[in-house]
Each structure stands twice: as structure tokens, then as C-alpha cells.
Amino acid sequence: MTTNPPPRRSFRYELRSTEQRLALASAPLPLGIVATEPRRSAHRDLYFDTDDESLRRRGITCRLRVGASEFNLLSLRIDDASGAPTTRVDVPVRASDLAGALAESPLAARQLQAYVDASLLEPQLDLQVERITRAAHHDLLRRPRFELHFDSYTVRHSGVSRTFHQLCGHIRRGDGAKFAALADALSKQHDLRIPAGDPRAHAELLVRWRRSDARRDELDGSDAAIRIAPRNDAVHELLNPELSLVAFQGRVLALAADPRTPLRERLRFLGIVSSNIDELYMVRMSSLRAAAKDPHERSRRGDDGLTALDRLAMVEDEVASLLAAQSACARDCLRDAAAVGARMVPWASLTDHERDVLRARCVDEIHPALTPLAMTLSPGHPLPHLPHLALSLAVVFRRGPGDTPHLAEFELPSDVPRLMPVPGRAADVIAIEDLLRANLDLLHPNVQVEGAHLFRVTRRGDLTLDEEGADNLLTAVANATERRPYNAAVRVEVERTMPAFVAELVLESLRRDAETQGAEDAVEDVQVIDGLIDLRCLADLPLPPNAALEYAPLVTRAPLPGSRPMFDVLRERDLLVHHPFDAFDDYVIRFLREAADDPAVTTIRITLYRVGDPSPVVECLLAAARAGKRVVAFVELKARFDEEHNVAWARALEKAGGNVVYGLVGLKTHAKVALVIRREGEKLQRYAHVSTGNYNARAGRQYTDLGLFTSRDDLTCDIADLFNELTGSARAPQGLTRGALVAPHQLLPAMLGLIARETANARAGRPASIGIKVNGLADAEVIRALYDASRAGVQVRLVVRGICTLRPGVPGMSENISVVSVVGRFLEHSRIYRFGNAGAPEYYIGSSDLRPRNLRRRVEILVPVPDPAHRAELDRILELYLADGSGWTMDADGHYAVRHGEAPSAQVVLAAGEA
């Protein structure tokens, strides 16, 4: 025989802001229920106990409510541990102190005296309540059946205040079914997903984490901290780079949202956006926030027309919009995956047998490695370190009905798949956080778990590195890399269902962590994620083996005949290769492998930036070094997020007998060049390779890049000179003399000179044009030179994949400049520079974009391409991208519109090998 659950008598929902509270209080109620106009009131709830919480330990609550009506209200609740009904005493009193109230209520005094000496009771919690009340659903006698309270609670302790908001509903009389329907309708209509708990428990947790932080309180109370200043109608020269970067992530996300993109690739693009947003926070958000707090910077307008406060607020708004769109896209992709048989299922949908099998896996494979850490201020429990980019669960629990809530966290295991297969099902998976949530009794036995909420912390990505003071850069970078996981947090992603007070406690832990580490700034708010946190896991969704769900395999172009060494070919002609359409392994790896194996090769020199792990390139170098060849590797240890790999490869190369240079103080070496020296008769012949991309085999399959192989004396001599300066002088190269251009000293003035020549040609009536394909364009000096060229009548056509701070199409400034961005199956990475030169065009390829870091703070190289056939190929590539029918056209405000044109996709044409 089944029994119906007791009728619902009340409900509580958490509200996230004052604005949401006020909007809900004035909104019509759902289901056609009529309510009175909002009525405002305020009161204080004083909770009394002894210092050792003797009342709480006995399940007793003593509260004095002051100011709610003409009378104050003394309330006593006694919960009997044996299960007997709760004793309730509610007495109207005039006194506003406990002694006076007890004098007015002998019954309450006698009840309390049985447990504690009332003279020992002190107010342990002062909860100030601003309330908006609406009575609803009146009966025939005009008595309200329901009552709704829209409450704002402020708890003050030690000079610090914390505020939270709740909607609570009570049934006074009548229809319980209608009341339950109202609660559900409010939840759905206003997206109220988080049931709220007892406000006293909520407030007590906040008090336990009290912290005096006048600077933060001042910022929290300042409208200036969040206000976006009115836009200035004047057209400013430059766009904001961070906003441009977020816009690029939107274009990548559009590939994931496009149903024409194969499903497996859509899931991959979702993960790419997640990784890129992680990097945005790790690299850029700290400086944006610091500028917004700096009194000298926060109101000063930059070249983009924005103040630091404007800039931060706009970037955060754009990121929030992007994340909302990403979550919606993920839901669509999961729906489409379910349609082909790959489903992510909740614990509640599993059978008892499936749950038993998964629980057994928890017992055997997962729980032994989990370590719950209390988030408490107890001297014996230091605050846990919340690891970088790791998923963690914050668990709220009580040890008994009258106990205070406690908070602990544990990190999800990194050696267990995020998506666990459901036993007995072909392609159904369950997220590991859902599995662990459902089996928390294994980790927290004999407690009442009230919730477990997923979160992830992102920390700053910079290295604390004293390059000039370091005795050994390799050791310094290795040590700094080990310290990076302890950098200050810059973001906390939380599940939508995480209550605000839990989020606040996670933030407080990070603030204290920042203080311990001596960091000046700490993250001040959480980022609420509607759906899965860290969507990179979706790439592992077990889709069925269906060719329609992924891109067709790329058929690369026929390589050079294997019977003939590359050195023989390069003595006759240069080779221009375009990856991945020309396979990276067929050219770059082959070139280095032949050099390692050829007994006539004496020396290999190479720059290494991001080589990956494993690395076929480094394996070739190790083989060459072990064979007795002179291997000189310039390993850029400071390549962001690849430092650990590069330190390991540098040590391996040294161990094998290679000569390794670790980098230049204050600069990064980003140039991608290799030089092979081979003894041929009486002569030492040089062979060179210059690339737009890294010596990374995996990237060679995923990115479009150009490479030039040559034995020409002019270029190989320039590259030899570059290596001689890099390895022999410990200073930045000053310049090359035979046509190649090198940063940081030569490339920028040379680029400005090439643009100025086109400008002068246009003014003189000679043919003038500029065509450039890069990943980023943000150098103000270069942009102003392009504006001058446009004003002179130069047609400037740009393909810029990512950041672009130039404003195209502005009358009188850039009306002759167009910008297109192309994203697609392959991540665009090639760089091409073409200058019309009055009908005798010049072409360059190389490692450098047109951003300040490339031109001013890195060693970069561009090399000329003299071969007519190669120039024609570069022309063809440029024109394909400029006309790409799937490209995005940029307007003067930095907005992009996808073309949907009749012209084909450049990547599709190149993959098909079409002319």
C-alpha cells in the first residue's frame, strides 16, 4: 500500500540579485493567480545561544524578531531527538532584548531554563531582513490562501556584511495542489533552479567565513565597478583587442552551432572554444581587472575610446553572452548525439542493476583515491588548495538535524574518464560528477548531505620569473613552472544549481589562498555555467562509427618521390609546401630524418617553440646527436603553457650530446627555421627550412601553414647569420642583409617602409596594392600606416583570422581597406605578405603576425619568395581566402557577418586539389 506525501506547505528559491528580487516582486503571478500589490517591511532576527552552542547541540532555536509589527516576536523551537513532535512557542512581546522578552513570557522562560541558564545567552547572529510581501489567491471571505515573501537578508559580523536573497512561499489555508502548482510554475517561468535552505544556516556559514576587506566592500558598493560608460560617438582609430578576441571565439562557436558541420567536429569545436576562453582568463583578465582598479587608469580612455572600466565590463558581458550561446550549442549537440545513439544520461534514469555496477566501480576504482578536504577555519584544517583547471565538488552536509552545515570539497580524479560508460548500454555515458554525487555516502557516511555542486578554478597563466637574475634559465623556468599552479585564481566556474552561499565560501577560500601566496588581487565573483562545465569532454562522447559524423579523411597531395633524397631536389629548386594539404610528415619530418641519417650531414640547427609531446621532430634531432652530428637547438623555454615540455626536451637533447640555447632575456624566439649543413665534395652546402608554423607534427595536421625549403645562398646565409647571433651573442638579432627580415629591430621599420612605398606609389599614380594574411593585426603603428595607405588610394585587402583592432571601411580613414576572417575545418595559421610594388610585386612568408608582441618583443622572421611559380601559388591562396564564401566580413565596429556566398570555401578547394 502506498501513501501520498504530505501536502507542500512552503517553498524557498534562491535569488541571485537585488534586481531579480525586485523584478519578481512586481511581476504578475503565473496560472492566473491574483495577488495584492507589493508591501514593503523590514525586521531583524536575533538568534541567541551560549558561546559553546549548548542550545544548538540540543536542537533548540531561540529567536527574537524585532520590528516586524507593532509587537516583537519571541520564538522557541525544540526538536526532540527521539522523533517526538517539535515544541513551538511564539509569544508577542514589546521588549527588544532577550531578558525583557523572557520576563514577558514565563512559558518560554521555563522552557529555556530546563536546558540552559538564560543569563548566558548572547545574540550569536543578527540577520537583517528587507521584505516585500504579496498575499495571493483570496477565498470568498477575501482571506489570502498563499503568502509570498521576497526577502533580502544581510548578515553583519566584525564590520563586514554579506547579503543574499530568497523567495519564500507559505500556504495559509486551502488548496495544497494549487500551491504546489504555483511553486513549480514560478520555478519554470523565472528559471528558479536552486531551492533555498534555512536563511539562518545560510547566514551562519557566511559568518563563519567572515573577512574584513574594506577595498572589496567599497568596490561591491560602487556602481562604478559595473557601469559601462556611455559610448562616445566619435570614431576611434582602434578596436579593443580583447573584444576582438572574444568575437573570434564566437566565429569558432558558429562552426559548432552549424548543423552542416559534422557532429564529431561540432563537439571538437565546442572544446576549442572552452580551451580558448580558459586562455583568455589565464593570460588577459588579470591585467584588465588591475587596470579597472587602478585610480590612474580606470577613467582614462585609450585608443579604442574605452576606459579601463568600460573595457572590463564589456569583455565580461561579451564572454557571458558567448558562454550562454556555447551552453545552448552543447545542448543541441547532445540532442543530436542522442538521435544517433550516443546519450549522456542522468543517474535517476538508470536501473537498479546499472546503479549497482557503477557503485561497485566507485568502490573499487574511484573512491579510494578521493580525499575530501574540509573548508573550515579550524586551526587543524588549513584551507585546501583548489587546483588549476581541475573539476571539484563542493559538498554541503550536516552531521545531525540540529547541526550547523559544513562544507568540504574534493577533486574529481583526472585518471578516470569524465564520461563513464553505462554498463550494458552501447553508447550511453554518465558524467563522473553525477556518479559521485549519487554515491557521496561512500565518502561522507553517517551525515545528511544537502548538496554537492561542481566547480572549476582557473588560475593566472604567467610565470614569476627573474630572467636577468637567474643563474640558469632552464632551472629558473622549470622552478617557475612548478609554482604556476599556485598563481592567484582569476575565474571560478560553478554549476547553475550551486547556491550563492556555497559560491561565496569557495570565493572566500580563494581570497585567503591569494593572501597566503602574497597576491594582491583575488577573483571576486563566480561565473555561472548553465550546463556542463568544461565542454572539452564532449569530444569523448562515444558516437557510432558513421562517416557522416566527421570530416572526410584528407587526401594529401603526392609527396616527392621517396627514391630521391630531398637534398638532391633542393639543389635544383626551392619547395613551397602548404600543410596539411602537403603532409607535414612527408616534408618536414622527412627533411630532418634524412638529415639525421645522412653521413654527409655535419650540422643541424633549429629553433623550437611548440613541438608537442611526443615529438617526431625532436626524435630526429636526438637521433642526429647520438650519431655524432652537431645539433644546435634554440629551445624557447618561455613558450607559454609548453614550458614543461620544452624543459624536458632541452634536457633530453643535452643528454644526447646536443648544444641547447634556452632563450634570450626579455624576448621570446618565435621564428620557425631549420638549417642543415652537408659536406658535398670540397664544399659545405646549406639547406634551410622556414615555416609559418611550429615544428609540431600534430599541429601540422590540424593547422594550415606554409613552409619554404631552399638551398639558395642568399636565404641560407641570412638564416646562418640569424643562428650565429642567437647562439653566439646572447642578444636580439639586429638585422639581416640579404632580403630576410627579422624582429625585434628590423622587421617593424621594414614593414612600415613597405607600406609607405605602396602609399607613395598610389600618390604618384603608380599601381599600388597590399594583400596580407595573418592570425592577428593589432600593432597601432602598422595600423596607422595602413590607414595612410588607404587615404592615398591603396587597395588593402586583409585576411585576419583572430584579433583585429583595425577599423575597415571608415570614410576618410580606411574606406579602401577590407578585412575577412576565415575559420573552418583546419585552424588557419599561415602568414602571407604581398606588396604590389608598382607592378613588380614582393612576397614574404614567415612566423610573424602584426601584433606588438611579434614586432617588438619576439625574434621573428619573414623571408622573401622569389620563385614565380611559388608567387603564383601564394596569389592563388590569398585570392581563395579573400573570396571565401564561408568567410566573415568585418565592419568598422568590429562586428562580423558570415558571407554565405556563392564562392567556395578556400579550405575545401585546397583539400580537393582544385586549380
Q: Tell me the average confidence (pLDDT) per consecutive run of 10 residues in the chain, 915 residues long.
A: 61 86 92 93 93 86 91 88 76 94 92 90 91 92 92 78 87 85 89 78 70 35 30 72 95 95 96 95 90 85 90 92 94 96 95 96 92 72 81 89 82 93 93 95 90 93 71 75 84 90 85 73 84 95 94 93 94 97 97 97 96 95 97 90 88 94 89 97 96 95 96 97 90 94 97 98 97 97 98 98 96 97 94 97 97 96 98 97 95 92 90 74
Residue 842 has phi, psi (to 5 degrees) of -115, 145
Q: Is 628 exposed, middle or buried, given 0-12, 13-18 or 19+ CB atoms closer than 10 A? A: exposed
Instruction: Write the CA distances from 256 to 262, 377, 552, 889, integer angstroms.
Output: 9, 44, 17, 19
List Cβ neighbours of 152 (8 Å cut-off, separation of 6 or more). Answer: 18, 21, 129, 130, 131, 163, 164, 165
Q: Which of 350, 339, 330, 346 is nearest to 425 (CA)?
A: 350
Output the pLDDT for position 7: 64
pLDDT at 209: 58
Q: Which three cell numbers stand for residue 901?
A: 556566398
Neighbour tally for 180: CB within 10 Å: 15
Which grid coordinates are listed for 607? 629553433
| Half-sphere exposure (Cβ direction) of 777: Cα atoms closer than 13 Å | 30
Whole-number Å distance between alpha carbons of 304 and 306 = 5
Q: Are 304 and 236 in contact (CB under 8 A)?
A: yes
Q: How many Å from the N-terminal Cα to the C-terminal Cα in the chain?
A: 78
- What nine digits make up the cell of 830? 599561415
Phi, psi torsion values for 665, nearest 5 degrees: -65, 125
What CA–CA distance (Å, rounded) separates 163 from 158? 15
Q: Which amino acid is at 839?
A: G
DSSP state of 549: G
- Per DSSP, the three-state class of 160 is strand
**Is this prediction's pTM over 0.85?**
no
Cα–Cα dist 175/646, whole Å = 70
For helices 241-257 and 308-339, the axis angle rounded to 10 degrees is 10
Give the per-residue pLDDT at 190. Answer: 87
Question: Which among 690, 681, 619, 693 is positioned nearest to 656, based on CA atoms?
Answer: 619
CB 753 within 8 A of CB 725: no
Q: What cell numbers appear for 621 in the block?
A: 634531432
Per-residue HEC secondary structure of 770-783 comes to EEEEECCECCHHHH
Cis-peptide, bond into residue 544, ω within 30° of zero = no
Instruction: State residue 234's pLDDT score.
Output: 56
Cβ neighbours of residue 616 under 8 Å, at least 6 residues apart? 585, 589, 697
C-alpha to C-alpha distance for 809 and 353, rounded to whole angstroms: 65
C-alpha closest to that of 617 among 589, 653, 644 = 589
Tell me which H or E stretch contains 516: helix 500-517
Identify the CA nearest to 862 among candidates 730, 702, 691. 691
Q: In 231-246, which positions are buried (b, 16+ CB within 10 angstroms) versus exposed (e)?
A: eeeeeebbbbbbbbbb
For the CA atoms of 747, 751, 753, 754, the dihedral, rounded to the nearest 10 degrees, stands at 130
Rounded Cα distance between 858 and 119, Å, is 73
For 334, the grid coordinates are 547532445
CB atoms under 10 Å from CB of 810, counted, come to: 17
Please give the Cα distance from 499 to 455 (Å, whole number). 12
Amino acid at 408: A
C-alpha cell of 146? 498563499
pLDDT value, residue 514: 78
Q: Could you list the active site residues?
A: 670
